[in-house]
Structures are given as C-alpha cells and as structure tokens.
Amino acid sequence: MRSTAQTARRKLKPRQRPYYRVLGRGLHLGFREGNRSGTWVARIDAGNQRYFVESVGQADDDLSDADGSSVLSFHQAVERARDRHRIRTVGADHVVAGPYTVRRAVQDYLIAIAAKPTAHDATTRAETLILRELAALDTATLTAARIREWHAAMAAAAPRARRKNGAESGFSPEALAPRIFHPHPRQEPQRILG
C-alpha cells in the first residue's frame, strides 16, 4: 500500500528542476520525478547564492520499496541529506551515524552560533529547557503536537530557582514570594507578586 505522500509525488509533473522542501538553514531536499521513477536530491548552500546539488538516492515509488541503501523513503532521504550537509559544512570527521536527534540538532545549532554574544545563554537554555526531555527524540518523527505538549508541560511546571553559579536548585517556594521591583532608581519601589 502506498502512502499519501507517495501518491502525491506521483502526481507531480516530470521536470528538469526538482521540487524542493526546506529542511534547515542552507539545506533543501528535492524530489525530481522522472519518466519511470523519482530521485531525491540534496541542495546545500555554498554561499554567494551558489549551491551544491547531489543525488541522495532513488525515491520509494511504484517501482521499488525503500531499502535504506539506494532506494529511500522520505525520512531516509532527509537523514541522508542532513548527513551530506554535515559533511559539506563541518567535514566528514564530524559526521555521526544514526538518527538525527534533537540533541544533535541543538548541538549543530549551538556550533553555528558559537561566535555570537547570545551563545552562552542559548546553550544554558537548551540544556535546561530542551535537552532534558527531548534530547533522544528523532527529529524525523518529531511532530508539532509533541512540541506543543512539551511546551504546555514546561509552561505548567513550577518556576525554577537559580543559584549564583547558574546551577538550578529545583522548585523554591521563595520563587513565588512577593518581590520588590524598582522600575527606576528615582521612583518609589512597587511590590509585585511572582
């Protein structure tokens, strides 16, 4: 039985230029429908409005089922395109086999922003908020519903108390206690909750 995605791909008109889908910054996965079968291609940003375009594998269509080697499903093609992107951007020595997990996606992001002033804050937030719960999830299977569920649970959780060294100490009733807020040094302090 063919998936709806495979059926939709079969309806695409054969053309020289692939139909692309954005996978991330500087990375697109393309599908080119041929006369007999389709082909997956990765388009990787090379800078200055130039791209590397590489064949990733044959698409799993009416002629062949995905085998993970030469014939790929959409999710397998996404993984292969991301591997090619990592090879082109960070080198073959840094490519790790296996699924592209949230942990690896966050690590790639943190490497990309390492020189920015917000890198330390982003690293701390990622470790505290994202990686605790989502690190092991495969990004290919991560859904918007799962992200909304995680976000709602995070919003419903008790406030985190912080120590001077940046380490968390867990929930603290003092975090909910009223505090004195000074909006401007010359104005009277205001008492606020939370």
Domain ranges of the chain: 1-98, 99-157, 167-192
Nearest to 58 by CA among 91, 3, 9: 9
pLDDT of residue 164: 60
**Range ranked top by mean pLDDT from 46-50, 58-62, 151-155:** 151-155
At 43, give phi and psi (nearest 5°): -115, 120
At 132, give phi and psi (nearest 5°): -60, -40
pTM for this predicted structure: 0.46
Under 8 Å between Cβ of 30 and 40: yes
Under 8 Å between Cβ of 19 and 30: yes
Lowest mean pLDDT among 19-23, 127-131, 158-162, 166-170: 166-170
Q: What's the half-sphere exposure (Cβ side, CA atoms, 13 Å) at 95?
A: 14
**Contacts of 52 by beta carbon, 8 Å cutoff, 6+ apart:** 42, 43, 44, 46, 88
Q: Say yes or no to pLDDT of 149 above 90.
A: yes
Q: How high does pLDDT run on average in the chain? A: 76
* Between 65 and 25, the higher pLDDT residue: 25
Lowest mean pLDDT among 66-70, 148-152, 176-180: 176-180
pLDDT of residue 34: 73
pLDDT of residue 182: 46
